[in-house]
Structure 1
Amino acid sequence: MAVALTTLTMARMKVAMLRHAFRGTRAQTAGTGAVLGALLAAGTIYLAFTDPDLLAAGYAVWLLGWILGPIFMGGGDETLRPEYFSLLGLSPRRLAAGLLVSAFVGVAPLVSLTALLGLLVAGVRLGVANALVAVPATALQLAVFVLLSKVSVAVVGLALRTRPGAIVSGLLNGAILAALGQIWVFFMLFGQTGVPAVVWYLPSGWGLLAVQGEWWALGALALLALLLLGAWAALLSRRAGAARPSTRGRRPMRAATANGAIVAKELRTWSRDLVRNHQLTFALSYGVCFAASPLVLGWDGMLPYAGPIFIVMAAAMTSNLYGTDGTALWLTLMTPSASDVRGRQLAWLSAHAPVAIVLTVAFTAVTGGPWPLILALLPALLGGATGLVPLVSAYGLVPGTDPHRRAGNPLRTSEDDGGLTGLAYLMLALVLLTAVPAGLVAIWYGWAGVAVGVVTGVLCHWGLGLLAERRLRSQGPELLDVMRSGRKPQATMKFRFEELSKTHKTIAWLCFGFGAIPLVPQGIIAAVFVTNGMLRHTWFLATYMPSGLRYPVAAAFVALGLAMYGTGVWVVKPRSSR
């Protein structure tokens, strides 16, 4: 009775908190996510009418999404946190049960439940008994999804308290997310060889096995849910400890100038901060695995792009660079005669450029090219990343959690997960844009693109860094107040979604949300495929065009993507600045 009362109370608390939280931009983000999730759920249900093997593979993808999504987005939904109930004397199992029930309240569980209706469709097609089994199978499958997500976040949070754990978890998470990003490779492989039987025996396939008459799978789901609940309860009791890496044996920092001190401080942070260790290894693993995934089809054409992909992902992971400092930002503002932006740029370059260069040169040498395009993209992306990381962080600063207060969940470096996710996607698009001129020149004129890449990289590094420096000098106190209070003053906001009409909001979200599709895959990547002679390739339209139209079609898609982003920026600008 006490457990039931606790779970009901926590569920009601979650409903009340979400009812007051989903407003403004956060409501728009949640609405966009719900629409995209509903489309994916509809596609999953459609698989139930076609091929059970593909349905099992689809549920495996949903399982990976539940495991990796919260890790990538800063710890997942923690509207109700275990720390809130630490003084109530609840047992770990009772607390875990209450938090589990509250975890089913939200957009993501509702979307996943919709996708799991494919089990009911599969059961109805087989018979009445199978349809009846589909009902508890659906509930248990959803419980396993949610519990696996909670346990994985808790395990990664514990791993981030040690350097080896942070590195290993970053490597694994990057590899799995890269596999999801290249899911088309595996679908093509499945089309050639068939869906591997192993997907049926993953936990994501047990519900479908139960519906098809393997009754043991239903009991296995129930047992797994109980085991995961017990594991989560045990992990919750270990959240209190803080991650304090030892500094014994470290050489003291020595710097002759103020700028040198900033560089030394940043490099020491990159070596000591376990969250940054995780981010760096995540970006490295993602870049290598994303580029290497097509090897399963016997194609090595993406290997040379491992370095550029690593740069873009590393920039996205550090897009809130100033926000992760927490209220220590005041030290930056009070440091005289020093350029904090230039110091951070040099430190970022020192931490990432050697890795990117080694990856690029080694993999391009293995495949034998294309040298002009790769050597043009490398300096352009490095310069664009070092210029955009401080600039985007200074203009779009998301108030972060002070590093010494990350004890409960080290993955959560900010209270606004939606803001961090939007900032990361914005960084992905902007960094890619900085390489477009060099890439196009390299495609059309060969080695001339290398010179263009060097010039644009230097200009982005210097010019965007200068803008970020001016932003810190002119708006430093306001940024510190945002970091301290968590509220952005309306007078200084450049983009005001709340003042827009519903029509303008919809246009802006469509432009920002879907502008990357024509720009990157249908434009830039399709042009690369055409250059490498890869014709009639999956969904890249330019590869299906006659020889004289391939590059114009790719260029038209690039122009469309840029136009969509430009339209979005124009729509959200205040009227006085139009």
Structure 2
Amino acid sequence: MAVALTMAQMKVAVLRHSFHGGRAQTAATGAVLGVLFAAGTVYLAFAGPDLLAAGYAVWMLGWMLGPVFMGGGDETLRPEYFSLLGLPSRRLAAGLLVAAFVGVAPLVSLTALLGLLVAGVRLGPANALLAVPAMVLQLAVFVLLSKVSVALVGLALRSRLGAVASGVLNGAILAALGQIWVFFWAFGETGVPSAVWYLPSGWGLRAVQGDWRALAALAVLGLLLLGAWAALLGRRAGATRPSARGRRPMTAATVNGAIVAKELRTWSRDLVRNHQLTFALSYGVCFAASPLILGWDGMLPYAGPIFIVMAAAMAANLYGTDGTALWLTLMTPGVSDVRGRQLAWLSAQAPVAIVITLAFTAITGGPWPLMLALLPALLGGATGLVPLISVYGLVPGTDPHRRSGNPLRTSEDDGGLTGLAYLALALVLLTGVPAGLAALWFGWAGVAVGVVTGVLFAWGFGLLAERRLRSHGPELLETMRTGRRPRPTARSRFDELSKTKKAITWWCFGFGAIPLFPQGVVAAVFVSNDMLRHTWFLATYMPSGLRYPVAAAFIVLGLAMYGTGLWTLKPRSAG
């Protein structure tokens, strides 16, 4: 018990000294959004037990899959830190479990689990008393499922076969969740599936309803997961062995060719990159192929474009994943590192994207102009944006040779990595808009537009990234070496704002795209195509006379948010 309390105190001390600047803003934003989702979950307790059970199933999947896709989860206290203490695996796991309850995510999840207490109060005093241990055990199961999931994927990433298999599986799971409506429709589920009551996420609610066996099952599952995590921690202690298999030597006639060869060798040997590549491919194929269950193949050709966008999101921190190796580039004059990385990234991703796009478009018989226009446009946009985003929004990463026993943990700033991924998703999608519109309006002329815009995006964004790397290379190296960004010599307009105005500006620019694009523009397109009651697009659930007005209101709201952000940043006259 003393070890567990000490680890919890260590976690509190680390968090207290690490939440500042951009990291504090990211944590605060995540906490606010989490509390909103938690409040919505508690509201489901009043709407009905089926909906509440479904809500907790979503929370469980978030705990299991979120850390796998977003940097390996919270590892403020790494098991490696305590390797010299000689603690037994079970004792170490128990201590780390107690420390895992300290943080924003567990507190937000505990808030969501208040729905169990609400459900218990509505049933009676005895049920309300049962809700308290049910909440604790349910949260423990959530946390342990997260730890075991990350540990299993980390173990898989120690071999190439495991990295590929886990990438395929994770991509398929995330794609299935994104297309869950397809499976509901296919199996005739018009309401909440009955299966949510049999998942571990529903056992707490069953216990509150008077099923004592569910409470005992939660306790037993928690103990089993704790034992599994302890065993996996013991396996984690062994470092990943470097491959001793012979490799052909890298040969290059020029220094730029050497960069391409080095990057291609990295793409073939780095198991994390193997995992990311197969994840993006699996996600694109499974997401586009899911409607085949309903007999509709119209989405199949989009597997290639989806793969490109997801692959760009996975590589958005390209320079950050190299760690301090940037000094090699800075000390080699006359080298266009950006161009070499662009060519290597294109060489690794383009053949896959081209093959699946052409194959799936041939299967469905079209639309050929649209697909052939989007393919070069998105490839060029991604090729230019990947290095550009990386050098402007670089998140300090861990040197590859110093990675912990959790290979997914390539950076200490999960929020920063997630932000870069979402930024890359949005920007790469925008690069395909001109070609896509031209193909829809003018047919085959869109292909020429796609080729031209793709070349311009790759060349222009690459040029900006190269200039940034040359002008700010030492600062980027210092950021990766220390984990802190150098203080700017000149204060920007944003730095001069008060804390309140900074928060307003950050929220307007950070979340203005949500009402503008998905809830506004995309929802209006769905309504025009009679795609009603579609996932989270509010306008599709409105009565017929309110669908377009609701979509228009969201567009106005998004534009107003961006306008407010720009107005706040506008310099004020001295008078």
Q: Same fold (TM over 0.5)?
A: yes
Q: Which of residues 134, 137, 143 is equivalent to 1:137?
A: 134
Q: Is the 8 A contact 1:182 1:290 kept in 2?
A: yes
> Structure 1 residues 185 and 566 mapped into 2: Cα distance closer, same or farther (>3 Å)?
farther
Q: Which residue of 1 aligns with 2:367?
A: 370
Pairing of 1:4-403 with structure 2 (within 5 A): 4-183=1-180, 185=182, 192-296=189-293, 298-403=295-400
Following superposition, the deviation at residue 160 of structure 1 comes to 0.8
Which residue type is aligned with residue 438 of structure 2?
A: V
SS of 1:105's equivalent?
A: coil
Report the CA distance between 1:384 and its aligned residue.
Answer: 0.7
| Alignment check: 8 A CA contact 1:535 1:543 kept | no
Q: Are residue 484 (structure 1) and residue 481 (structure 2) matched?
A: yes
Identical-pair percentage: 81
Equivalent residues of 2:317, 2:386 under 8 A apart: yes
Distance in 2 (alpha carbons) for counterparts of 1:287 and 1:570? 39
Aligned-residue Cα RMSD (Å) equals: 3.0
Q: Kindly indicate whether the alpha-carbon contact (under 8 Å) linking 1:171 and 1:285 is maintained by their aligned counterparts in 2.
A: yes
TM-superposed CA distance for 1:62, in Å, is 0.8
1:298 positional shift: 5.0
The range that moved more, 298-307 or 166-175, is 298-307
Q: Distance in 2 between matches of 1:529 and 1:250?
A: 52
Distance in 1, Cα, partners of 2:249 & 2:560: 51
Q: Which moved more, 1:423-432 or 1:182-191?
A: 182-191
Task: Look up the equivalent residue of 1:353 and give its one-letter code.
Answer: A
1:415 to 397, 412, 415: 412
Query: Where does structure 2 lack aligned partners over 5 or more consecutive residues?
Result: none
* Matched-pair contact (CA < 8 Å) for 2:184–2:190: no
Give per-residue Cα distances to partners, 1:358-395, cap 9 Å, x unaligned.
22223333334333333222211111110011111112
Report the 3-state secondary structure (helix = DSSP H, G, I; strand = E; otherwise coil) of the residue aligned with 2:372: helix
Q: Residues of 2 paired with 1:196 and 1:66: CA distance?
A: 20
Aligned pairs for 1:469-480 within 5 A: 469-480=466-477
In structure 2, give the amino acid aligned to 1:450. Answer: V
Q: What's the CA shift for 1:438?
A: 2.0
Rounded to whole Å, the distance in 2 between the matches of 1:543 and 1:211 is 32
Distance, in Å, in 1 between the alignment partners of 2:52 and 2:417 is 32
Distance 1:106 1:553, change over 3 A: closer
AA aligned to 1:443 is L
> Deviation of residue 496 (structure 1)?
7.9
Tell me how far apart the structure 2 counterparts of residues 329 and 169 of structure 1 sit (CA, whole Å): 30
Alpha-carbon distance, 1:445 to partner: 3.1
Distance 1:524 1:458 in 2: 28
After TM superposition, the structure 1 stretch with the greater mean CA deviation from structure 2, 533-542 or 398-407, is: 533-542
Q: Shift in Å at residue 271 of structure 1?
A: 0.7
Is the 1:24–1:498 contact (alpha carbons within 8 Å) kept by the matching residues of 2?
no
Q: Is the 8 A contact 2:23 2:413 kept in 1?
A: no
Does structure 1 conserve the Cα–Cα contact (< 8 Å) formed by 2:524 and 2:539?
no
Flag the 1:110–1:460 CA change in 2: closer, same or farther, 3 A.
same
Q: In the aligned structure 2, how far is the partner of 1:575 from the partner of 1:261?
A: 51
How do 1:472-551 residues align onto structure 2 when only pairs under 5 Å count? 472-491=469-488, 499-522=496-519, 525-526=522-523, 529=526, 533-536=529-532, 538=534, 539=537, 541=539
1:553–1:308 distance in 2 versus 1, CA, 3 Å: farther
Would the aligned equivalents of 1:380 and 1:438 in 2 still touch at CA under 8 Å?
yes
Q: Which residue type is aligned with residue 380 of structure 1?
A: A
Q: Match for 2:353: what amino acid? A: A
Alignment-derived partner of residue 426 in structure 2? 429
Distance change >3 Å, CA 420–CA 411, structure 1 → 2: same
Counterpart residue type for residue 392 of structure 1: I
Match of 1:338, SS? coil
How far off its partner does 1:478 sit? 2.2
Aligned to 1:456: 453
Deviation per residue, 1:165-212 (Å, 9 max, x gap): 111111122222223334555566788444333221111111122222
Shift of 1:73: 1.4
Q: Distance in 1 between matches of 2:186 and 2:48?
A: 16
2:437 is matched with which residue: 440, 444, 460? Answer: 440
Contact 1:240 1:407 in 2 (8 A): no
Measured in 2, the distance between the counterparts of 1:406 and 1:523 equals 42
User: Quick check: 458-467 or 406-415, which moved more?
Assistant: 406-415
- Are 1:542 and 1:553, in contact at CA under 8 Å, matched by a contact in 2? no
Report the CA distance shift for 1:512/1:278 in structure 2 as closer, same or farther (over 3 A).
farther
Question: Unpaired runs of 5+ in structure 1?
Answer: none
Q: How far apart, CA to CA, are the structure 1 residues paired with 2:34 and 2:411?
A: 24
Cα distance between partner residues in 2 of 1:419 and 1:554: 31
**Is the alpha carbon distance of 1:261 and 1:565 closer, same or farther for their aligned partners in structure 2, counting shifts above 3 Å?**
farther
CA distance in 2, matches of 1:339, 1:573: 37
Distance 1:73 1:158, change over 3 A: same
Compared CA separation, residues 213 and 308, structure 1 to 2 (3 A)? same
